[in-house]
A and B are shown apart, each in its own frame.
Chain A
């Protein structure tokens, strides 16, 4: 009798907890998102398309995807190499480096941008030397890629590292015993196992790069049709009162990030099936 009473009381508290937390999530996350999508779509397809095909909006989106893509290619290679070195090799200061990998997650993005301006800006030593050759980093497109590389540095590393640590090395040793060189072993034996985690890390960093604002606003210098990425463009449209234009570009960014998230989810499920768990 008493046990039964306890369970039914618990069911009540379970439901209360569930509905409170779901209500919070709904008000905090779902409601603002739905509002944004409805407001972006409500004037209809034609105004949506007109806002999207505005040359400034279109260029901003193109630049955002291009810089994010360049960043992801570089980060996929360097991130995998870094994870490899951190897991497989021992060198002095390894645990220190391993702890500092997350620094970009902890440093505010504005501070990141300011650091890059201080180091590479037109009045810095490096900037002066580069300027003599007619090159520039800050207030130019390479600066955007640099900022994105900084803020998304940990994603691939932190995604690949646990997989490398759990990896059974017997297959690699077998390949080496059979005469395969280090590179061949990596390419034919290790890499196929690492692919899902490299893709996951790359997808997360790409999604992060699409939305990055704080560091980019500091290094990009806000030149329309040159260094204005989509988040910068959205901010400009909000400031100048073009609410609908801002909403349209925002919904494109939002949809792209959601697609990436869904893709990663499917990838994980597929990987899980493939490994039989």
Chain B
């Protein structure tokens, strides 16, 4: 600061007069920085995506469609969609409930619960899968008790559903907690005062106000569920046609050196994630718009 005081008066005045230019002299720097940032983005994100598109395009449309028409590919995508639908429905209902508990109720240990929700983000998918094996596997704490009753969790579809649910637990909660906090309790209390029950208040007051937050959380959950690989791999046993999801099919295709199907399935998954991303952007604009319109 001491050095700044030594700036002579004339320089200061000329600076003050040309304030518009004072920000502009770095316009060369501005273009260089913009170019560098966009170049990095292109090299890191865009070029690899386009390389995949090109790889499939070189093969031609017919082999692409033939690869997708294979029964194991269809079954793998069916499996992915089914697991995604189940995990998304369960975690959305649970996520709305837990977000309401975290924002509308006061109880001992709330901060701890708030932290626990984030844990699946911090856990490697492989470790998540291992946890499920340790708990539900044949010698596991719960598995030892479940398997004699004919309930097979690990190396079967229930385990894959559990794994997907585990990794997507936080998304809806994380999106809704700030939205609910910002919304406040006034409207709900007003509805309550007017004689509406809890359930009625939720359906006609709370849910309509948080719908874009729910939509954002659901989109993130769907994207992550469709793309989940490590956790599902560990608990699946990867039996082709039985416990193989789309991502497991891609990995198996590359490992066993018949990558055409893997390229085709990858392109389909990448296209789906691109569509989800456009959806996310759309939903986010509504979220931010809602925020600005509120007083």
- Assess whether B250 is interfacial by the CB under 8 Å rule: yes
Does B229 lie within 8 Å of A207, measured CB to CB?
Answer: no
Cβ of B292 under 8 Å from chain A: no
- Residues of chain B within 8 A (CB-CB) of A273 are none
A211-B127, A214-B247, A261-B115 given as contacts; is B19 within 8 A of A32 (CB)?
A: no
Q: Is the pair A110, B251 in contact by a Cβ cutoff of 8 Å? A: yes
CB contact between B12 and one of A85, A118, A178, A247 (< 8 Å): that residue: A178
Give A103 to B271 CA distance when docked, in angstroms: 11
B277:A247 contact, CB within 8 angstroms: no
Choose the segment among A49-57, A128-136, A190-198, A250-258 that binds chain B (4+ C-beta atoms closer than 8 Å).
Answer: A250-258
Instruction: Mark contacts of B210-246 with chain A using CB atoms, 8 A cut-off: 1 yes-contact digit, 0 otherwise.
Output: 0000000000100100111110011000000000001
Find residues 40-67 in chain A having any chain B CB closer than 8 Å to their own CB.
none
Given A179-B11, A253-B124, A17 contacting B134 (CB threshold 8 A) = no
A160 interface residue (CB < 8 Å to B): no
Given A35-B141, A108-B269, A212-B124, A176 and B45 contact (CB-CB distance below 8 Å)? no
Do B98 and A231 touch across chains, with their CB atoms under 8 A apart?
no
Q: Tell me if B2 is interfacial: C-beta within 8 Å of chain A.
A: no
Distance between Cα atoms of A265 and B165 in the complex (Å): 25
Per-residue CB proximity of B149-165 to A under 8 Å, as 1/0? 00000000000001001
A4 interfacial contact with B, CB 8 Å: no
Q: Residue B62 at the A interface, CB < 8 A?
A: no
A167 within 8 A of B: no
- Residue B131 is within 8 A (CB to CB) of chain A in the complex: yes
The verdict on A114 contacting chain B, using a C-beta distance below 8 Å, is yes
Residue in B closest to A222 when the chains form the complex, CB atoms: B255
Contact mask A14-48 → B, CB, 8 Å, 1/0? 10011011101100111111011001000000000
The answer on a CB contact under 8 Å between B230 and A111 is: no
Q: How many residues of B contact A (CB 8 A)?
A: 93
CB of B278 closer than 8 Å to a CB of A: yes
Contact check, B254 vs A106: say whether CB atoms are below 8 A apart. no
Q: Check: A218 CB closer than 8 A to any chain B CB.
A: yes
B273 at interface by CB-CB < 8 Å: yes
**B81-99 with Cβ < 8 A to chain A:** 94, 97-98
CB distance from A110 to the nearest CB of B (A): 5
Given A21-B94, A118-B55, answer yes or no on A85-B37 (Cβ-Cβ < 8 Å): yes
Listed from nearest, the 7 A-B pairs whose CB atoms lie closest are A211-B124, A108-B227, A32-B131, A213-B230, A257-B122, A106-B273, A115-B48
6 pairs of residues in contact across A and B, judged by CB atoms under 8 Å: A29-B117, A82-B40, A118-B263, A179-B11, A231-B125, A250-B124
Residues of A within 8 A of B (CB): 6, 10, 13-14, 17-18, 20-22, 24-25, 28-33, 35-36, 39, 78, 81-82, 84-85, 89, 91, 97, 99-112, 114-119, 124, 146, 149-150, 153, 173, 176-182, 204, 207-208, 210-214, 217-218, 230-231, 234-235, 238, 243, 246-247, 250, 253-254, 257-258, 260-261, 265
B-side interface residues toward A, CB under 8 Å?
Answer: 4, 7, 11-12, 15-16, 19, 22-23, 25-26, 29-30, 33-34, 36-38, 40-41, 44-49, 51-52, 55, 94, 97-98, 100-101, 105, 107, 113, 115-135, 140-141, 162, 165-166, 169, 192, 197-198, 220, 223, 226-230, 233-234, 246-247, 250-251, 254, 262-263, 266, 269-270, 273-274, 276-278, 280-281
